[in-house]
Amino acid sequence: MKITVELIFDGQSIFGGWSRKQVECLGVCWPLRRGWIALACEQEITPESARRFLALKDQHVDPLDLEHHRNLQHLRSIAGRTAAGR
Q: Work out the mean pLDDT of the chain and round it to a whole number.
A: 87
pLDDT of residue 82: 60
64 or 59: which leads in pLDDT:
59
pTM above 0.85, yes or no: no
Task: Using a pLDDT cut of 90, give the percent of the chain over it.
Answer: 62
Residues 39-67, mean pLDDT to the nearest whole number: 88
- The answer to whether the CB of 67 falls within 8 A of the CB of 32 is no
pLDDT at 5 over 60: yes
Distance of CA 66 to the CA centre of its chain: 13
17 or 83: which leads in pLDDT:
17
